[in-house]
Structure 1
Amino acid sequence: MTDRPARLAVGVVSAGRVGAVLGAALARAGHHVVAAAAVSTASQRRAEALLPEAAILPPDQVAERADLVLLAVPDDELPGLLRGLIATGSLRGGQIVAHTSGAHGSALLAPAAELGALPLALHPAMTFTGRPEDLQRLVACPFGVTAPDGEEIAWNVAEALVVEMGAEPVRIPESARALYHAALAHGANHLITLVAEAADLLRGAGVADPGRLLGPLLSAALDNSLRLGDRALTGPVARGDVGTIRTHLGVLRAQAPESLSAYRALAHRTAERAVASGLLRPGQAEAVHFELDEEQP
């Protein structure tokens, strides 16, 4: 790649679950992780396991030593961290400054760009444990990459770094970054909540190992939905089985009222999507919506 040095000195701020793994992936690709910030005991252990050649230093000293400064901190911490690095003179022209936040694009790094740094957003679309096995999971993982509009060299550098880590870059324009992240959070985070609630309900029904029931069912549902979209919808809402829905609402009200509002909201949305995809007739959907609203306290 002619747009950047063949071997970069990488600084990781900080060695959390994401930063430590991405740093290790960059090292595997031939770059040199020279330093990492690691405050907590857990992050220090991650750095020792995944970034054994990195010096453990404060964030400003990590950035000073790096050609590529990888900012892997929670979304809300990024602006303050960036201001601090600039205030201490730790960033300079010619560096690559990349963050791993899904919620932000490269525009957040504009203060670094004003110094002459190359700003990139590199967001891996997977969950991390911070353990070595994440490196294998990173292979072929999609990354949402964003660089400044119209700066093709920056886009190329972002894509090259992702490819070197064995992953797959997907271009996300700055203007679409918030919607991109909302989609991923809505799908992944709320899926976990939904599965956990289903498991709780099964335990309430006396099932000692909910995973034995949910595993095959949910795996098939996820596979079908990714391949078929709304055509994969099944169940009482998609069939317009109002009597079954009424039974569900009654038992949830009596035994798991904390799950009732989520059931209603998802059932309403399922009915709307079932109509739009032709699975449910409008008249049937009207009866479903009426039943769901009728049960309101």
Structure 2
Amino acid sequence: MSRAGRLGVGIIGAGKVGPVIGAALAGAGHALTGITAGVDEERVQAILPGIPVLDALEVVRRSELVVVAVPRDELPGLVTGLAEVGAWQPGQLVLHTDASFGTGVLAPAAASGAIPLAVHPAIAFTGTSMDLRQLSNAYAAVTAPAAVLPIAQALAVELGCEPVVIAESDRLAYAEAIAISTEFSRSIVAQAAELLRGAGVPHPGSYLSALVHSTVDHALSQAGSAGAGPPAEALEG
């Protein structure tokens, strides 16, 4: 997708993910139409200065691509609610960023003629500009109907990610893998840091930093050499 194909992009969800996705797409040449309100407007304006803050209905009305980046338990109801008031438009791109869902959750939008896309960048978002650098070294799981899969892949590339196709039926397994890698890592580090603190180490996080990073890098290298991390082309085939 080139600058000649610039889209008007609206963001529903002003948490840690939505503003960063908006900033990445703006950096790729797309125009931002607006974002819904969040609890930390100062942070949102820091990463997306001057972006209009609108309600969800107006974001959808103004946009050719709507990025829905809301908590998992809110996503189905939000998509359905907007469908019930006739918000979704034929030919409009609707992209959600949740790991657990494929495009099935966007069925109410698709029934109105919208094009459903699921793109999950595999990073731990902080909600700051630091995430833009992380995206440039990350993969993104993409799920979409075959006819529009190239659009989802192109948007992942514009985010800075390497797209990897995940089948609709495999999204739950994918989400489980993501949850294990993030939640388990946090839990183990927190437990180790607490033990070190009890042993009198004054800055346990700093003490563990080089050890944890080198251990994880080694484990990832072993996983890749064992075939657990095939290149994107293999997964897409």
What is the TM-score normalised by the length of structure 1?
A: 0.72
Q: 1:118 to 1:125 in 2, by over 3 A?
A: same
Matched, 1:106 2:100: no
Identify the residue that residue 148 of structure 2 maps to in structure 1: 154
Q: What amino acid does structure 2 have at the position aligned with 1:19?
A: G
Would you say the 8 A contact 2:15–2:38 is kept in 1? no
Would you say the 8 A contact 1:35–1:56 is kept in 2? yes
SS of structure 2 residue aligned to 1:128 = coil
Identify the residue that residue 224 of structure 1 maps to in structure 2: 218
SS of structure 1 residue aligned to 2:17 = helix
Identify the residue that residue 7 of structure 1 maps to in structure 2: 6
Identify the residue that residue 36 of structure 2 maps to in structure 1: 37
CA drift at 1:211: 3.0
Q: What amino acid does structure 1 have at the position aligned with 2:71?
A: P
Q: What amino acid does structure 2 have at the position aligned with 1:87?
A: E
Q: 1:27 to 1:201 in 2, by over 3 A?
A: same
Q: What amino acid does structure 1 have at the position aligned with 2:99?
A: G
Q: What amino acid does structure 2 have at the position aligned with 1:61?
A: E
Would you say the 8 A contact 2:7–2:65 is kept in 1? yes
CA distance in 2, matches of 1:46, 1:140: 23
Question: Which of the numbers 73, 83, 86 marks the counterpart of 1:86?
Answer: 83
Alignment of structure 1 residues 64-75 onto 2, 5 Å:
64-75=61-72
CA drift at 1:134: 1.5
Identify the residue that residue 176 of structure 2 maps to in structure 1: 182
CA distance in 2, matches of 1:201, 1:9: 50
Would you say the 8 A contact 2:80–2:109 is kept in 1? no
Q: 1:65 to 1:5 in 2, by over 3 A?
A: farther
CA distance in 2, matches of 1:70, 1:12: 5
Cα RMSD after superposing both structures? 2.1
Q: 1:94 to 1:212 in 2, by over 3 A?
A: closer
Matched, 1:206 2:200: yes
Identify the residue that residue 243 of structure 1 maps to in structure 2: none
Matched, 1:19 2:18: yes
Q: 1:83 to 1:212 in 2, by over 3 A?
A: closer
CA drift at 1:230: 11
Structure holding more helix per residue: 1
CA distance in 2, matches of 1:141, 1:113: 28
- Report which of the two structures shows the higher radius of gyration computed on alpha carbons: 1
Contiguous gaps of at least 5 residues in structure 1: 232-297
Identify the residue that residue 239 of structure 1 maps to in structure 2: none
CA drift at 1:136: 1.9
Greater relative contact order structure (CA < 8 Å, 6+ sep): 2
Paired residues, number: 226
CA drift at 1:212: 4.4
Would you say the 8 A contact 2:13–2:68 is kept in 1? yes
What is the TM-score normalised by the length of structure 2?
A: 0.89
Question: Which of the numbers 92, 99, 102 marks the counterpart of 1:95?
Answer: 92
CA distance in 1, matches of 2:206, 2:78: 44
Identify the residue that residue 242 of structure 1 maps to in structure 2: none
SS of structure 2 residue aligned to 1:17 = coil
Q: What amino acid does structure 1 have at the position aligned with 2:123?
A: M
CA drift at 1:217: 2.2
Identify the residue that residue 131 of structure 1 maps to in structure 2: 128
Query: What is the percent sequence identity of the aligned residues?
Result: 46
CA drift at 1:191: 0.6
Would you say the 8 A contact 2:88–2:113 is kept in 1? no
CA distance in 1, matches of 2:114, 2:123: 27
CA drift at 1:220: 2.2
Q: 1:103 to 1:54 in 2, by over 3 A?
A: same
